[in-house]
A and B are shown apart, each in its own frame.
Chain A
Amino acid sequence: MARKILLEHIQVQNINTFEVYRSKGGYAAVEKAIKTMSPEAVVEEVKKSGLRGRGGAGFPTGMKWSFLAKPDGIPRYLVCNGDESEPGTFKDRFLMTHIPHALIEGMIVASYALGANTSYIYVRGEMMPQIRILEKAIIEAKNAGFLGKNILGSGYDLELYVQPGGGAYICGEETALLESLEGKRGNPRIKPPFPAIAGLYGCPTVVNNVETIAATSWIINHGGDEYAKIGLERSTGTKLISASGNLNKPGVYEIELGLPVEEFIYSDEYCGGIAHGKRLKAVVAGGSSVPILPAKLILKTAADTARLMTYESLSDGGFATGTMLGSGGFIALDEDACIVRNTWNFSRFYHHESCGQCSPCREGTGWMEKILHKIEYGHGTLQDISLLEEINKKIEGNTICPLGDAAAWPVASAIRHFRDEFEWHVNEPMLSQKNNYGLANYGA
């Protein structure tokens, strides 16, 4: 069995209650950090662990924490980004539903490390049950003296609040999240200044993903060096992967980074292969915004080495033949899946979720969606495919926030790797409405 860190006690009954969580060694990290360590030592430990942001960008967490400006007399904030709404990603919801105290414990440790006396957990508006679970967990922790004034007699105060969002994907972008948290329209801010200098209410702020924060308590308990031993090279530790699509056993899995992709898809410990005995056609490896790859490129890199579940291995080959680990939303598509329809579906999502602030994204996402709809329903032309490529280039990199890139990458990569299928949709409009293109030469 692979090593479990976040989901170690997931099988324990009532692990979502304080008593059970505590009896399994919960909140030991809070005791250890607050009683025996200085905030700087906690940051140092996280730095040593090599933990990288689990929200998608993979930025080293310890480094992010050490960038936080610490001017006198100005409060600092820690904000937990629970606005998980990327199609294909559902790991944070799982964690918040079943082990809410892992997040609360991590929040206390991280807030202590950053010197924040008020911290927020921003949860997506649709996750009302999770919000109630978290609020209950906060009350339980408070009653046990782990939150509130003078935690464990150390003189450190911390108030933790859960803030429901309005249900916008864009509020998962950290500056839009902060705007939304301040009660404004969730438009991303123009950077610089970065949140580490001027974030929530203009004060220095750190925004971290749910999974990142939950991982910190294990690091404090066992030491950063121990965490760094797990995983492979610069991708240390474990990662929650939300597997979905045409798999035998879709669900949330905790993997040690460095696991071969092939093993993740086919071994019985994980996804157990493709459903109904079909063959794998394509994989979106890290949530809808990362480039889609055909089966032959996801199992083996262009250099013919096995592809592993690490930040580096998945992005091996750049965008030409690689993808990204992203937030870990692993979507597998079998031989009967239509790539054009899948791309259109993603594009429709980004069109719906664009905030409308900057022009390339506001207008471009809608345009792409309309063209893809046209191709999918057999009215496309070959010029439409090259037009899509051009629109992609006009959006990518020219927008305020990464949503423009996220909208452009899936379309660009689908055309890059599955151009045949797009052309087939154009050339065989009647047939494409009845049949699927099939596996063609995309299989492993």
Chain B
Amino acid sequence: MSDKIKITIDGVVVEVEPGTTVLNAARQIGGNIVPPAMCYYSKLEESGGKCRTCLVKVSKGSEKDPRPMPKLVASCRTTVMDGMEVQNITSPEVIEARKGVVEMLLINHPLDCPICDQAGECHLQDLGFEHGAAQTRYEFKRRTFERVDIGDKIQLHMNRCILCYRCVFTANQITDNRVHGVLGRGDASEIGTYIQQAVDNDFSGNVIDVCPVGALTDKTFRFKNRVWFTKPVDAHRDCPTCSGNVTLWYKGEEVIRVTARKDQYGEVENFICNTCRFDKKATSDWEIEGPSKVRHTSVISSNHYDTMQPLPVIQQKPALIIANQEQFQKTSKQ
């Protein structure tokens, strides 16, 4: 197609539709050069731009205006221009900035992964593993909040929240009315319901799925098990309110959790209703499709499937590996 535009990310050329963001262009290439995203969610409009983990360097603005952009830009909210050249993992500046962002995200995070239900499928954990320092330099008291029950099925653990606003956009865009939002300002901001109003809506459970950390957790699953001891299985049912396509998480014969299906970036494919999520926990309610695909790098796969497959795309296509390395060497020489 002629109206596609060309963009180079870390030396790898890709052709995308006009209006695509840099992040989504990188996702079309796949592999290591996809910037991490904590707040961007492709299914939610207006999301993104807040966490700053997806910062990239635009070393050439476009074919028409080749000047580089003066600052690092958030790849999730920057649309591609024809001939744009972007550096992500080949720019030391970007890696440094990302390390800084991860450090900032973690200074007030309780790091209670051993008792957190999100552990194993937590984006912040992955991010911290890849970019975080071994030790904190923050020596002051961390910000703490009381745990709050919002509704009878969801618990809010504000200490772990990174204020990505995803749950706010979810409530805005897929439920009838939003009763929770961000209160306060600066580092005193918190997700909250006004005067402890319950989040009670057919689709409210989706906020659990979109939360990148363990701030919003499923009360029917809390402390039941570690995710890597459970087996994810795709299943569906004929649901009158939602698509009914879910993932069942088995422990032995028992379904202990139901979530929406997630893609390789941890984003929900189809939002599901609360009936499917919280009430249908018997195998007889569902038609089983088979084991879910889990990223081979994920800790969830470690007990069940072949481990340690090579990472996708970049390692598989020799041409991309070479292009990527050349770009890296070019940058590191400068």
Contact = CB atoms under 8 A, between A and B. Distances in A.
A351 to B, nearest CB: 6
Interface stretch (A206-214, A277-285, A354-362, A411-419): A354-362
A359 B101 CA distance: 7
Contact of B104 (A185, A355, A394): A394
Interface size class of A (residues with CB under 8 A): 20 to 34
A360 B77 CA distance: 17
Interface stretch (A16-24, A251-259, A268-276, A365-373): A365-373
A397 interface: yes
A391 to B, nearest CB: 8
A44 B81 CA distance: 32
Nearest to A357: B50
Contacts of A354: 185-187
A360 B101 CA distance: 6
A362 B165 CA distance: 14
Given A358-B51, A387-B137, A399-B52, A363 B105 contact: yes
A398 B185 contact: no
Interface in B19-78: 48-53, 55, 71-72, 74, 77
Contacts of A363: 104-105, 107-108, 187
B223 interface: no
Contact of B187 (A170, A190, A366, A400): A366
B105 A356 contact: no
B252 to A, nearest CB: 40
A15 interface: no
A357 B101 CA distance: 13
Nearest to B49: A190
A359 B100 CA distance: 10
Contacts of A395: 100
30 contacts: A168-B185, A170-B185, A190-B49, A190-B74, A352-B186, A353-B185, A355-B185, A356-B163, A356-B182, A356-B186, A356-B188, A359-B50, A359-B51, A359-B52, A359-B101, A359-B105, A359-B163, A360-B52, A360-B101, A362-B189, A367-B104, A367-B140, A394-B97, A394-B101, A394-B103, A397-B71, A397-B72, A398-B55, A400-B52, A400-B74
Interface of B: 48-53, 55, 71-72, 74, 77, 97, 100-101, 103-105, 107-108, 137-138, 140, 162-163, 165, 181-182, 184-189
Interface of A: 168, 170, 185, 190, 351-360, 362-367, 370, 387, 393-395, 397-400
Given A357-B165, A398-B100, 19 more contacts: A170-B185, A185-B182, A190-B77, A353-B186, A354-B185, A355-B185, A356-B185, A356-B189, A358-B51, A359-B50, A359-B101, A359-B105, A360-B104, A365-B187, A366-B186, A366-B187, A367-B104, A394-B100, A394-B101
